[in-house]
Amino acid sequence: MNISKLLVAALIGCLVILVSCSRPGDLSRGGGTFVTIKGSDTMVNLSTAWAEAFMEAHPEALISVTGGGSGTGISALINGTTDLANASRPMKPEEIAKVPNYKEFAVAMDCITIVLNPRNPINELTMDQLAKIYTGEEKNWTAFGGVNHNISLLSRESSSGTYIFFQEHVLDKKDFSQDAKLLPAANPVIEEVSANDYAIGYVGLGYALKAGDRVKIVSIKKDAASLAVMPTEQTVRDKTYPIARPLYIYTVKEPAGYARDFIDFCLSPEGQKLATEQDEVPIK
């Protein structure tokens, strides 16, 4: 008797736990003191810096920041599991169709930097040459005045917002070469470029600057006739550096309460100064 009683009790216990776990969270969302942000990996550091500064000014507010990628953030926004979504690309039409009343806030500029191994003699590339390298049309460094060796192409995974931006603006919507190695994050790209003499990769400006002299940042020419431009805050802002993009925060509807205050804070002079400290480029 005892054993079956125990088993039944255990079963009921399990059920109770399951039920209480699956009860929908009743944290007041959006307008409450608890705000969740999810999305672009590029924006995680920036967003965390903003959240920390914001919570210092508003000790009663709780802001949680997680990464996962732009698409993950937007899906979470659509599914109602996050209040704000960070995205390093604009929303796609099929995503917009699910949340037609969405609001978009461009909060900073991000600049994509082309990095080479420091031993590579090449210092500048044109946009056209970059496209040829990444589509696999040119496979050897000699075509660009480098050493006679195959190019090691490094890209981010296709799930990355950076990948899609690069494909659209640098490759002119053509496909990446099948030879490109797809790495799961920006740091592995830096690691591989610093270890592989023949590698080329692309990462956000912040990652390239942090890597210091382990990688070489390439200056980019819009076309063969124009000047080579190094990526800096100045050149991104005056649009002479060609590979830069806005970073967005999305909400499903007009934000209210702390979510609103947080976005306002990001766009305030103080927030934009924090963006500079995180090696992003202020948008205002």
Partner 1 sequence: MQSRVRDKIVRLMLLSAASTSILIVVLIFLFIGREAFPFVQQLGLGALFNDRWVPVSFEHESFGILPLLTGSLVVTFIAIVIAVPFGVLSAVYISEIASPREREILKPFIELLAGIPSVVIGFFGVVVLGPIIKVLFGLSSGLTALTGALLLALMAIPTIITIAEDAIRSVPMAFKQASIALGASKLQTIFRVTVPAAFSGIVAAVTLGVGRVIGETMAVLMVTGNAARITFNPLESVRTMTATIAAEMGEVAFGSIHYSALFVVGIILLLITFGLTMIAQRALRKYRRY
Which residues bind to partner 1, rule: CB under 8 A? Answer: 1, 3-4, 7, 68-72, 75, 78, 92, 94-95, 149-150, 152, 157-160, 163-164, 167-168, 173-176, 178-184, 188, 191-192, 195-199
Q: How far is the CB of 16 from partner 1 (least distance, A)?
A: 18
Tokens of 205: 């400006």
SS3 at position 67? strand
Residue number with CB closer to partner 1 (117 or 235): 117
- Of 84, 15, 7, the residue nearest 260 (C-alpha): 84
CA–centroid distance for 283 within its chain = 16
Residue number with CB closer to partner 1 (7 or 12): 7
Q: How far is the CB of 88 from partner 1 (least distance, A)?
A: 11
Beta bridge mates, 246: 109
Q: Does residue 114 contact residue 221 with C-beta atoms inside 8 Å?
A: no
Residue number with CB closer to partner 1 (167 or 235): 167
| Rounded Cα distance, 12 and 72, in Å | 36
Residue number with CB closer to partner 1 (183 or 217): 183
Q: How far is the CB of 104 from partner 1 (least distance, A)?
A: 18
- Of 38, 34, 18, the residue nearest 252 (C-alpha): 38
Q: How far is the CB of 264 from partner 1 (least distance, A)?
A: 29
Residue number with CB closer to partner 1 (20 or 178): 178
Residue number with CB closer to partner 1 (71 or 242): 71
Burial class (CB in 10 A: 0-12, 13-18, 19+), 174: middle
Q: DSSP H helical segments within 31-157, as ranges?
A: 44-57, 70-79, 93-96, 127-135
Q: How far is the CB of 149 from partner 1 (least distance, A)?
A: 7
Q: How far is the CB of 184 from partner 1 (least distance, A)?
A: 6
| Rounded Cα distance, 147 and 40, in Å | 36
Q: How far is the CB of 189 from partner 1 (least distance, A)?
A: 11
Residue number with CB closer to partner 1 (198 or 265): 198
From start to end of the chain, where are the E strands? Answer: 34-39, 62-68, 84-87, 103-116, 124-126, 152-156, 181-183, 199-204, 216-217, 219-221, 244-251
SS3 at position 85? strand
